[in-house]
Amino acid sequence: MTTGRRSFSLRLGARRLDLGVRTAIMGIVNVTPDSFSDGGSFLDPAAAIAHGLRLAAEGADILDVGGESTRPGAEPVAEHEEARRVLPVIRELAARSGVPVSIDTSKAAVAAAALAAGASMVNDVSALRADPGLGEVVARSGAALVLMHMRGTPRTMQQAPHYDDLVGEVVAELAAGVARAVAAGVEPEKILIDPGIGFGKTLEHNLELLNRLGGLDALGRAILVGPSRKAFIGRLLDLPASERVEGTIAACCCAADRGAHLVRVHDVGPVRRALRVADAIRGGAAA
């Protein structure tokens, strides 16, 4: 089921990202010891910076830098430690990558420091539920804001998640997040939404959300989807995280076909190439 995509123009610092004609890509830069797929690989700032530059060269439109794992069961990280991990990486990538940089955090203080260091987007997995001050930080900076759906916290979210009306409840809870952001002063056109694949969802929930992604159009916001190397792909293919690139590509192409404007991935090059073909088929012309 192909669905049309509404077009959005997103201002990210001095750059503008047009969303809708082609599917944009957010490249993942995990500066963590314990992320589910690449934890520890880029904990050293120099390694993380080099990795981010590679992702930008492969075609990433945005680089998303995170210093706290949000994998199922993850323990929280102290504010000062999270900032220590990400700030050197953000400074260098903002200066050298040629693409906008996002900070993946739910903490107002970390976001404020990251925005001062050159980030122009905040990616909050809690949709402004974790830190009431985060919305005001984003509003003051003029940054863009991604609001993701999650039930509970990373530590608890996979403990028997249940929905009576999956898409309806996800839409309603994201709408509440959008309302929180607007009340804090964030400009509505700078808000994006993410259904939270793998965050408080079973395998069946994830498949249904991806199949019915068009239901999020009711919120009138650009849609970001993050299926990259997730456990639902591992369950379907019986493969470890490092071998889930084909499953990630399939999920990203399906998400784009059903209305996703951006996808958040580890494997930028292969996903970029696949989406060029998928977008060309959707649009009937070379993307």
* Catalytic site residue from 151, 230, 244, 272: 230
> What are the CA-CA distances from residue 107 to residues 30, 113, 177 (Å)?
16, 10, 15
| C-alpha closest to that of 82 among 11, 151, 146, 130 | 130
Which residue in the block uniquely carries the two structure tokens 């056109």?
189
DSSP state letter for 198: T
**Residue indicated by tokens 């998928």:** 278
- Residue 209 has, within 13 A of its CA and on its CB side, a CA count of 30
Tell me, yes or no, if 230 is annotated catalytic.
Answer: yes
* Among candidate residues 55, 57, 74, 77, the one with its CA nearest the CA of residue 65: 55
What dihedral angle (degrees, nearest 10) is formed by the CA atoms of 14, 142, 28, 21?
Answer: -60
285 — alpha (psi -120 to 50), left (phi > 0) or beta?
A: beta
Task: Please identify which of the residues 151, 258, 264, 282 carries the catalytic annotation.
Answer: 264
The residues carrying an active-site annotation are 230, 264
